[in-house]
Structure 1
Amino acid sequence: MGKFVITKRKNGEFQFNLKAGNGQVILTSEGYTTRAACDNGIESVKKNAHDDHHYERKVSTNNKPYFNLKATNGQVIGKSELYESEAARENGIESVKKNAPGAEITDETQE
């Protein structure tokens, strides 16, 4: 079972990682100024993860495949790691689709 892990960046912003059941990070959020905004980001991932149209398949400057997950309004809500192949990227997308909707939330912030 996947889980969202909320952490705080050095600059004080909140972010979340979606981890697969094996603990591997499969999606990383942007930084959020408030915990409430971070929670909204998680809800947006849960809501949009199932829809393939929300995945933007891209290639990095060093030619590594990755993807962005976008909300209905087109805003990027999460970004993947860099993959070695397009097939690995597709597996990452499938993992987000499978893990995000029912993922529990773990808060690791020290407030």
Structure 2
Amino acid sequence: MAGKFEIFADAVGKFRWRLKAGNGEIIAQSQAYESKESAKKGIASVQTNAAGAAIVETTTT
């Protein structure tokens, strides 16, 4: 099964999204948005920008 985005209202009534893997595990969660439409725009931004995003190592060994 493919992953999916879920939009939900948090405890204070703001909207958030979470990205679930095909096995149901949450692999990412958003900040709080004032509106459901803003949360949808956040999802669209991730869908557009994540595919080509660089991986940047910030830890030191």
TM-score by length of 2: 0.89
- Per the alignment, residue 41 of structure 2 pairs with 91
* Unmatched tracts of structure 2, length 5 or more: none
**Cα RMSD over matched residues?**
1.4
Deviation at 1:102, TM superposition (A): 1.2
* Distance of 1:75 and 1:94 partners within structure 2: 20
Number of residues of Structure 1 aligned to a counterpart in Structure 2: 60
The runs of 4+ residues in structure 1 deviating greater than 6 Å are none
Which structure ranks higher in relative contact order (CA pairs < 8 Å, sequence separation ≥ 6)?
Answer: 1
Structure with the larger strand share: 1
Confirm whether residue 107 of structure 1 aligns to residue 42 of structure 2.
no
Give the % identical residues. Answer: 37
- Per the alignment, residue 79 of structure 1 pairs with 29
Letter in 2 for 1:67: W
* Unmatched tracts of structure 1, length 5 or more: 1-46, 49-53
Letter in 1 for 2:40: E
* Distance of 1:58 and 1:107 partners within structure 2: 31
* Distance of 2:22 and 2:52 partners within structure 1: 20
